[in-house]
Amino acid sequence: MNTSRFLLIGVLLTLLLAGCSTKDIAYIHDAPRDSSEVLTGQFTKGIQPNDQLHIYVESATPESAVQFNQETNRTADMGTAKVAGSSSNLGYLVNQDGDIVFPILGRLHVAGMTHRELATMLEQRLISEGYITDPVVTVRLLNFKVSILGDVSHPTQLHIDGERVTIFEALSMAGDLTIYGQRKNVTVVREENGVRTIGTLDLSSKEVFNSPYYYLHQNDMVYVEPNKKKKRDANRDLTMLSVISTVTSIASLMVSIYYYSFLRDRYSK
């Protein structure tokens, strides 16, 4: 009897495992190994409104650069500049017009520029206007964040150091997809220049590398949809919960009616 039971369990487990293709959970399974390709993805669309920039000016003569790094008062919509290295470094907040106010140089339109382009422009201005002869400008994004939701181990908002992050890097920081997450249907919601776009990534295919959503941008939201099994289980649980709730309500109503009848009969005598 026990032997037959074990055999039956073994057959059921075999059928269950056979029904789960490794391709359903494998990443980029169709990419040839030991191959190389030229990178075509673009990991930045340039500086955007609400970006918080850290801009630091260096020179062989530090005294000539200090005026461009000191704490500066500015209006609320422009943010606040702090000395590099300060623990309360807030940087330069790009306003809705795509501008910042930089010490001495005044209002600068920076939207759409890459960090390197902005650094080069500042260096050229500082030289041409006679402020510094040998400036070296560093520009970094302080508030690069993306949100990871859905069937991942740890849904979270990620704060990224540096200027680029891929979809795989972001998912790894969220603990990777669960076994129920759909690898072929990962949604990326992106808002840039007043336009919202919604893209889909197939993490099981090598074509993911050519997607404009492979490199995540500032404020992207990534959603991993659950697979059909989890959806069915969720619907079943909701149905069961609804049935239990209905039965409980009916039982409570019947008890109330019975108790009311009991009290009426008792005190009517």
Q: Which of 42-51, 100-109, 218-227, 257-266 has the least mean pLDDT? A: 257-266
Q: Is the pLDDT of residue 238 over 60?
A: no
Average pLDDT (180-184) is: 90
pLDDT tens per residue, range 118-140: 999 999 999 999 999 999 999 99
* Residue found under tokens 């919601």: 189
Looking at residue 105, what is its pLDDT? 95
Query: Where does 52-141 sit in CATH, by number?
Result: 3.30.1950.10
Q: Is the pLDDT of residue 17 over 60?
A: no
Instruction: Round the average pLDDT of the chain to a whole number and report it.
Output: 78
Residue ranges of the domains in the chain? 52-141
* Residue found under tokens 């080069």: 120
- pLDDT range class, residue 193, cuts 50, 70, 90: confident
Q: Is the pLDDT of residue 13 over 60?
A: no
Gap between the Cα atoms of 48 and 69, Å rounded? 22
pLDDT tens per residue, range 75-114: 333 444 444 333 345 789 999 999 999 999 999 999 999 9
Q: Is the pLDDT of residue 6 over 70?
A: no
Looking at residue 244, what is its pLDDT? 67
pLDDT tens per residue, range 133-164: 999 999 999 999 999 999 999 999 999 887 88
Looking at residue 78, what is its pLDDT? 43
Determine how β-strand 181-192 pairs with β-strand 195-201: antiparallel
